[in-house]
Structure 1
Amino acid sequence: MSNENNENKMALDDANRVKVLSPGMMVFKRFIRNKLAIVGIIIIVFMFLFSFVGGLLNPYSQSQVFYTTEQILKDYAGATSIDQYQIQQVDGVKLPSDIFSKTLIAASTGKYVFETRDGSLLGLGNVGENVYVIYSLEEVNMLLKKNAAYDAAVAAGENYFTDDDGLTYLFQDEGAAFPTVYAASEMGVAAMKSFTPYDSSEKFSYEFYRGALVASANGKKSFEADGTTYTVDEDVILKDGAEYALISDVNFNAANAGVFISPAYKDAALDAIAAGQTTFMFPDEDGTEIEYRIENKNGQYTFRRYQETRVIDTYAHPSKAHWVGTDANGMDLLARLMYGGRISLLIGFVVIFIEVFIGMIIGGVAGFFGGWVDNLLMRIVDVVYCIPTMPLYLILGSIMDYYQASATTRIYMLCVIMAVIGWVGIARIVRGQILSLREQEFMVAAEATGISTYRRIFKHLIPNVVPQLIVFASMGLGDVILAEATLSFLGLGIKYPAASWGSIINAVNDSYVMSNYLFVWLPAGLFILLTVLAFNFIGDGLRDAFDPKMKR
């Protein structure tokens, strides 16, 4: 029995007791023992799934705008007292362009005969209070026309008369021995009144306008026009006993095209203004009573009411429809976080890849050849180091703004610019490592066997620098993401409508948004923090795994 136990015991140098691990496996085992590095891996995997897979599952796009309905106080109509003559012209007659100003001057000065800009001789016949008929005039011989009709017109205070033949004459300087008389042809009617039909489809004829104005100005209870008798009840004109038109000295205008301001509404508004009210109620088409607010600014009245309006759903709080809420443009923040993560992570990896590629070649060539080649390449590195990055970003951002570069173009340009400026650190690391490695025995043996320079650099030297490059790249990813976020925050990076985490937290520029809408910028800031922290954890884990002595 004791012999069997002795046979089962193995010597220390027994091959069965030796477990050989490859260098890669040893690095992997040391890496997975680092708990923080594992946490970093989990965070990065989550960020990639969230950004690239989540964007495919989310039903919204990053630029989709959402709307909601709100009750907003909006202008409905405006009203002003009519201080200019409203002119209706006879069908087929064209009045001169300056007729409005000439009519106002003639009515205010009492000089009813005037000449227009185009040389036409016109006159006003005063047919009622502030109601004038516009005539085209031609001077005639007064000796032939001064008669009883003229005397009656003078006695009545009128400046026109009609003779037995039905011809109209207008005169000036009445009472004079030889007043000036003109043959008059009617061209239109002018008054400081507006007409509103009770039926919006109704169109008034010139004869109706003239008859209504004359009757209203002279206090008549009825008039005839177009073969119909109309009744005048104060400011309302009735046709067959039904309300037909409203006469008013206030001009109403709808705030929106296509809205008809009914006479009943005008009556209610005018009654409220006369009573000194600031609000009044009026039913809409469905009979629902709606409150209207009256605002008076120097005699100009504005009527406002609450209307259900479709507006952009800005800064909506988190809900079932929008788990993280919406931003200032009414876009779903969760979707923008997902698509923004793609941009931020993509820029980070692309920039680091380009930096490593350029830095590895420049540093490898400089370290291997040394001498004037090394001196030349290191001076190039020094020059790139001296480039002021922020002013360069500002200049390039202004150039892209001037040429209105698309969001995709900005992404590519941002990657190239950040990589071209950031490769110098990697080049120096590679150069320093190769300077120490090229003098070791395996490189002397490689040279002795006649291996080409290209293979000595990229097959023997560079692979020995890869561990340091991996550590540098993993830790540099966080720096690139931070740099992109900073540039986007300053408005120099990704532009609307494309999103990145940095452009999302640009909302912090507004102190009110920063303090009252934490859900707008806090998630993006948290994602940047976790991603940068995760890459740093991974970088620390890789550094310890490749060189355990650095932990001591």
Structure 2
Amino acid sequence: MSKEIKNTNEVTENKNEMHLDDANRVRVLSPGMMVLKRFLRNRLAIVGIVIIVSMFLFSFVGGMLCPYSQSQVFYTTEEIRKDYAGATKIDQFQFQIADGAQLPSDIYSKILIATSTGKTTFESREGALYGLDKLGENVYVVYSLEEAKLLLKKNAAYQEALEAGRNSFESDGTLYFADADENAYTATEVAVASMSSFTGYAADAKFSYEFYKNALAAVAGGEKSFEADGTNYTVDGDVISLDGSEYALLLDLNFNAANSGVYLSPAYKAAAIEAFESGAKSFTFADDNGTDVEYEIENKNGQYIIKKFQETRVIDTYASPSKAHWVGTDANGMDLLARLMYGGRISLLIGFVVIFIEVFIGMVIGGIAGFFGGHVDNLLMRLVDVVYCVPSMPLYLILGSIMDFYQASATARIYLLCVVMAVIGWVGIARIVRGQILSLREQEFMVAAEATGISTYRRIFKHLIPNVIPQLIVFASMGLGDVILAEATLSFLGLGIKYPAASWGSIINAVNDSYVMTNYLFVWLPAGLFILLTVLAFNFIGDGLRDAFDPKMKR
């Protein structure tokens, strides 16, 4: 019984023993499995795979989960010292025109010449004659004149006006005007000219011509009261009162609010003028709620600028990392985390697209050149030499200028950038493929393929190219990092992706100020770190693939 059991065990062991031609033995020794095992044993390569997968998840999945877009601008509210109002000295005559009257188009220049030369009459461009009757300093009544026959020397009204320093007078119910040469004219009052203006204490206050004239005459003459439109007014300095309440304020400054809809009350203007005259740098005035507000004054060659701190909605630039913005915001108030996610898409997409185009072109050109040799090889290799001689940076500069001139969209710039980088970068792959195929085409399996009548296309792309794939994979994995660095460099130089689209390189390009670079590390450091990790990861993967495909590796 024991002998039978022993014999059975021996038979079973013989059945379990594997031979070199067993299917299980062949599967264990598969080249692909050996490459995979060697690659997985490389810890740095695994680290690179983890980093790349993380970058893809961060860029593509994170971008879908992020509540912000890459171009969304955020705002905040701050107290900012802004212009509130301005005041300038009135240095030109202001006119209040009488009802139904009209002034000539050149009235400003004519009055300026007449007052500067001491004349009391002037002629307009149309030939009409006008006279000026002085009420006070820089205050004149303008009359339209017609020649009249009146003997002035015996006229009592004229003599009274002459003693009062006036040129106009009324005689027998007619208004006359006399010039310095004692020529008489019938006069029609058309306007009052002064280098001052009235502002009402009520926002909707309107002043008649008679009020203007009589108020200016009263202030200029130092009178305490005057009558206009049947109403009595009192005068206290530059303040006109009605029934004991402040009614109007005479100003020699023009006030303008910085923003429309802001009403500058006469009391505010009076407080500002008092500060101007005392040479103060600021003054305090109560707002509509009774709260004292401090206003700052800047004097720029007689032009006063009044500023105050105002609550303003501004772009939230360079905001520090917070709960709302985990990485902060950039100079345009955009969320940096969202831009890093969308920028990763662009950088990774450009890297893979450019490498794919480079490998495709290089594989075709190198495969044909290596297989046919002779004149075909010489022709294609000279083409490679020509492409090698093309200076890449000037070409990028020209392309960037063309795209800027035609205002190419961000998407068009991405496609053009991929194409140009690929057209310049395929030559290295073409030489590698050519060199490998030159050594492979003379081997026995290619002689056998030619003997069996396999077409040239199948011999190149079914037998030769697959034997070059391992080298292409290594070259492509290590070249991905170079492409991403090149894109980052071009974007940093302003030749790549344009605002508002983002790439890691364009994010770093936004930091062109040493102050920002040293004080806002969160703006550029994450993008630089992502570029570093991505390029390093692709190099780890490339080194791992190179070691895995090396048949001399024992690990």
The equivalent residue for 1:95 is: 103
2:380 corresponding residue in structure 1: 377
Question: What is the number of residues matched between the two proteins?
Answer: 547
8 Å contact 1:337–1:501 — kept in the other structure? yes
CA contact (8 A) 1:544 1:551 kept: no
Cα distance in 2 for residues equivalent to 1:154 and 1:358: 105
- Cα deviation for residue 487 of structure 1 reads 0.4
Q: Is the CA contact (8 Å cut-off) linking 2:152 and 2:158 kept in structure 1?
A: no
Q: Report what 1:60 is aligned to.
A: 68
Q: Counterpart of 1:344?
A: 347
Q: Which has the higher mean CA deviation after the structures are superposed, 271-280 or 435-444?
A: 271-280
Task: Give a deviation string over 1:480-524, Cα, whole Å, max 9, x none.
Answer: 000000000011111111110001111343111111111110000
Q: 1:72 is aligned with what amino acid?
A: I
Q: Gaps (5+ residues) in structure 2?
A: none
> Tell me, what secondary structure is at the counterpart of 1:69?
strand
1:224 is paired with a residue whose SS is strand
- Alignment partner of 1:438 is 2:432: no
Structure 1 position 172 matched with structure 2 position 179? yes
Question: Secondary structure of the equivalent of 1:231?
Answer: strand
More displaced, 180-189 or 234-243? 234-243
Cα distance in structure 2, aligned partners of 1:72 and 1:259? 17
In the alignment, which of 201, 207, 223 is matched to residue 198 of structure 1? 201
Pair 77,16 (structure 1): closer, same or farther in 2 beyond 3 Å: closer
- Describe the shift of the 1:546–1:210 C-alpha distance in structure 2 as closer, same or farther (beyond 3 A): same
CA contact (8 A) 2:152 2:184 kept: no
Mean alpha-carbon deviation: is it higher for 255-264 or for 412-421?
Answer: 255-264
Match of 2:528 in 1: 525
Q: Percent of counterpart pairs with the same letter?
A: 76
1:273, distance to aligned residue in structure 2 (A): 2.3
Superposition deviation, residue 172 in structure 1: 1.1
**Residue 163 of structure 1 aligns to which amino acid in structure 2?**
S
2:75/2:313 contact within 8 Å kept: yes
SS at match of 1:509: coil
Aligned partners of 2:384 and 2:72: how far apart in 1? Answer: 45
The Cα of 1:526 is off from its aligned counterpart by: 0.3
What corresponds to 1:311 in structure 2? 314
Picking from 167, 181, 204, the partner of 1:159 is 167
User: What are the superposed Cα offsets for residues 465-485 of structure 1, whole Å, 9 maximum, x if unpaired?
Assistant: 111111111111000000000
Q: 1:541 to 1:183 in 2, by over 3 A?
A: same
Equivalent runs, 1:40-51 vs 2, <5 Å: 40-51=48-59
Q: Give 3-state SS (helix, strand or coil) of 1:496's partner.
A: coil
Matches within 5 A, 1:27-176: 27-143=35-151, 147-165=155-173, 167-173=174-180
| Paired residues for 1:246-265 under 5 Å | 246-265=249-268
What is the aligned counterpart of 1:404 among 402, 407, 425? Answer: 407
- The answer to whether the 8 A contact 1:68-1:310 is kept is yes
Indicate whether 1:13 and 2:19 are aligned: yes
Secondary structure of 1:187 counterpart? strand
For residues 243-294 of structure 1, give each alpha carbon's deviation from its aligned partner in whole angstroms, at most 9, with x where no partner exists: 2211122222222233221101011112222333211111112222111112
Residue 355 of structure 1: aligned partner: 358
Separation in structure 2 between the aligned mates of residue 110 and residue 460 of structure 1, nearest angstrom = 109
Secondary structure at 2:398 match in 1: helix
Structure 2: distance between partners of 1:379 and 1:550: 37
Greater alpha carbon shift after TM alignment, 326-335 vs 135-144: 135-144
Using the TM superposition, give the Cα deviation of residue 124 of structure 1 relative to its aligned residue in structure 2, in angstroms: 0.8
In the alignment, is the contact (CA less than 8 A) between 1:132 and 1:190 conserved in 2? yes
Residues 187-266 of structure 1 mapped to structure 2, 5 A cutoff: 187-266=190-269
- Indicate the SS of the match to 1:549: coil
State the SS of the aligned residue for 1:142.
Answer: coil
1:409-468: per-residue Cα shift (whole Å, max 9, x none)? 111110000000000011111111111111111111111111111111111111111111
1:386-413 Cα deviation digits (max 9, x unpaired): 1111111111111111111111111111
C-alpha deviation, 1:146, in angstroms: 5.3
CA–CA distance in structure 1, aligned partners of residues 396 and 554 of structure 2: 38
Q: What residue identity is the alignment partner of 2:458?
A: R
User: Is 1:474–1:538's contact at 8 Å kept on the other side of the alignment?
Assistant: yes
Shift of the alpha carbon at 1:9? 4.2
C-alpha displacement of 1:89:
1.0
Measured in 2, the distance between the counterparts of 1:173 and 1:87 equals: 24
Contact 1:112/1:172, CA 8 A, preserved across alignment: yes
Q: 1:186 aligns with which of 189, 208, 217?
A: 189
- Give CA deviations for 1:304-325 in whole Å, capped at 9, x if unaligned: 1111111111111111111111
2:430 partner amino acid: A
Contact 1:77–1:254 (8 Å) recurs in 2 = yes
Q: Which moved more, 1:259-268 or 1:338-347?
A: 259-268
Please give the TM-score of this superposition, normalised by the length of structure 1.
Answer: 0.95
Secondary structure of the corresponding residue to residue 273 of structure 2: helix
Match for 1:282 among 268, 276, 285? 285
Contact 1:222 1:229 in 2 (8 A): yes
What is the SS of the residue equivalent to 2:394?
helix
Task: For 2:154 and 2:65, locate their aligned partners in 1 and report how far apart those are by CA, in whole Å.
Answer: 96
SS of 1:143's partner is: coil
2:232 aligned counterpart, secondary structure: strand
* Preserved contact between residue 41 and residue 538 of structure 1 (Cα < 8 Å): yes
Q: Partners of 2:48 and 2:540 in 1: how far apart?
A: 5
- The answer as to 2:429 corresponding to 1:429 is no
**Displacement after TM superposition at 1:32 (Å):** 1.2
Q: How far apart, in 2, do the equivalents of 1:249 and 1:12 lie?
A: 114
Letter in 2 for 1:493: G
Provide the secondary structure at the position in 1 that maps to 2:264: coil
**Aligned-partner Cα distance in 2 for 1:287–1:231:** 28
Quote the residue 1:485 is aligned against. 488
> How far 1:7 sits from its partner (Å)?
4.9
Q: Which amino acid aligns with 1:90?
A: A
**One-letter amino acid of the structure 2 residue matched with residue 18 of structure 1:** R
**8 Å contact kept, 1:411–1:494:** yes
Contact 1:129 1:218 survives alignment (8 Å): no
Tell me, in whole angstroms, the C-alpha distance in 2 between the residues paired with 1:290 and 1:28.
76
In the alignment, structure 1 segments of 5+ residues that lack a partner are: none
How many Å separate the matches in 2 of 1:34 and 1:146? 125
1:367 aligns with 370
Cα deviation, residue 73, structure 1: 1.2
